[in-house]
Amino acid sequence: MIRHWSVPIVGTFVLGATLVSCAATTPDQTEAAPTESPSSSVTADAAPTAVAPAAPASSEIAQVTSAQPVIVVEGLEHPWGMAWLPDGTLIVTERPGRVRLIRDGQLDPTPLSGVPPVLASGQGGLLDVSVHPQFAENPWVYFTYAHGDRAMNQTRVARARFDGTALADWTVIFEVNRTKEGSQHFGSRMTWLPDNTLLISIGDGGNPPVQLEGELIRNQAQKLDSHLGKVVRLNADGSVPADNPFVDTPDANPAVWSYGHRNIQGMMFDPVTNQLWASEHGSRGGDELNRVTAGENYGWPLVTHSREYTGGEISSEQSRPGMIDPLVVWTPAIAPSGLLVYRGDRFPQWQGDVFAGGLVSGDIRHIEVDEAGAVINQTPIAIGQRVRDVRQGPDGLIYVLTDEPNGRLIRLEPG
Residues pairing with 147 in the sheet: 154
Report how far residue 186's alpha carbon sits from residue 200's, in angstroms, rounded to the nearest whole number: 11
List pLDDT tens digits, range 187-200: 999 999 999 999 99
Cα dihedral 243/245/247/248 (nearest 10)? 110
pLDDT of residue 265: 98
Of 14, 112, 69, 3, the residue nearest 376 (C-alpha): 14
Residues pairing with 292 in the sheet: 276
**177 φψ region: left (φ > 0), alpha (ψ -120 to 50), beta (else):** alpha
Of 95, 43, 357, 346, the residue nearest 209 (C-alpha): 43
Report how far residue 98's alpha carbon sits from residue 115's, in angstroms, rounded to the nearest whole number: 7
Judge residue 163's burial from the number of C-beta atoms within 10 Å of its C-beta, 0-12 exposed, 13-18 middle, 19 or more buried.
Answer: exposed
List pLDDT tens digits, range 313-368: 999 999 999 999 999 999 999 999 999 999 999 999 999 999 999 999 999 999 99
Report how far residue 310's alpha carbon sits from residue 316's, in angstroms, rounded to the nearest whole number: 16
Active site residue 185: yes
Q: What are phi and psi of 350, to 5 degrees?
A: -105, 10
pLDDT of residue 3: 63
Domain count of the chain?
A: 1
Residues pairing with 9 in the sheet: 65
State which residues form the domain around 182.
Answer: 3-414
Judge residue 208's burial from the number of C-beta atoms within 10 Å of its C-beta, 0-12 exposed, 13-18 middle, 19 or more buried.
Answer: middle
pLDDT of residue 373: 86
Instruction: For the chain of 415 residues, list the mean pLDDT of each consecutive stretch of 10.
Output: 52 36 37 37 34 32 64 98 98 98 97 97 98 97 98 98 96 98 98 98 98 97 98 98 98 98 98 97 98 98 97 97 98 98 96 97 97 92 97 98 98 94
CATH of the domain at 81: 2.120.10.30
pLDDT of residue 59: 27
pLDDT of residue 48: 32
Point out the catalytic residue in the list 147, 185, 227, 305.
185
State the pTM of this model.
Answer: 0.88
pLDDT of residue 26: 33
Judge residue 313's burial from the number of C-beta atoms within 10 Å of its C-beta, 0-12 exposed, 13-18 middle, 19 or more buried.
Answer: exposed
Report how far residue 127's alpha carbon sits from residue 104's, in angstroms, rounded to the nearest whole number: 23
